[in-house]
């Protein structure tokens, strides 16, 4: 087991280490971090790749992982292999390496309400690229 820890005291992310790997599809690999967590009341966890993952042929398969406060299972991180070589060999090279990080976030309860219209704003419905390049 590798206990998650921050690289530096001021780091936002808590590093997770790949302890085992299972190939789910030819291009999808689930890395087992070998741990389960219990976050404090009022918090949840987001899982994102470490910036150093750019040095590999892997990308996080689900963009951002969300761990709800009541989840008690093992932490598995799905990565997609985008390289051209042997994906399993590349995955095994990541074992015992820090591959992702947990961000502990405050859970803000909110109320969902269906409405017929929204208040106007300066931006309005301007979406992708509407504020310039």
Distance (Å) of CA 105 to CA 1, 12, 51, 53, 80: 24, 10, 19, 22, 25
Q: Is 42 left (phi over 0), alpha (psi -120 to 50) or beta?
A: left
Residues 59, 29: Cα–Cα separation, whole Å: 10
52 three-state secondary structure: helix
Residue 57 belongs to some domain of the structure = yes
Predicted pLDDT at 37:
96
Residue 94 belongs to some domain of the structure = yes
For residue 133, pLDDT over 70 is answered with no
Domain total of the chain: 1
Residue 132 belongs to some domain of the structure = no
CATH number at residue 44: 2.70.40.10
Across 21-25, average pLDDT = 97
Q: Is 99 left (phi over 0), alpha (psi -120 to 50) or beta?
A: alpha
Residue 122 belongs to some domain of the structure = no
Please give the residue range of the domain that contains residue 77: 14-106
Residue 124 belongs to some domain of the structure = no
Question: Structure tokens of 77?
Answer: 């991180």
Residue 118 belongs to some domain of the structure = no
Residue 79 belongs to some domain of the structure = yes
For residue 131, pLDDT over 70 is answered with yes
pTM of the full predicted structure? 0.86
pLDDT tens-place string over residues 35-84: 999 999 999 999 999 999 999 999 999 999 999 999 999 999 999 999 99
């Amino acid at each position: 087991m590798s206990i998650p820890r921050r690289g530096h005291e001021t780091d936002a992310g808590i590093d997770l280490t790949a302890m085992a790997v299972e190939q789910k599809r030819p291009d999808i690999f689930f890395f087992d971090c070998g741990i389960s967590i219990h976050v404090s009341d009022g918090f949840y966890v987001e899982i994102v790749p470490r910036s150093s993952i750019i040095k590999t042929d892997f990308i996080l398969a689900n963009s951002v992982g969300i761990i709800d406060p009541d989840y008690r299972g093992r932490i598995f991180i799905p990565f997609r292999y985008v390289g051209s070589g042997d994906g399993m060999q590349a995955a095994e090279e990541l074992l015992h390496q820090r591959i992702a990080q947990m961000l502990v976030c405050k859970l803000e309860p909110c109320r969902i309400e269906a409405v017929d219209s929204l208040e106007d704003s300066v931006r309005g419905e301007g979406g992708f690229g509407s504020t310039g390049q």
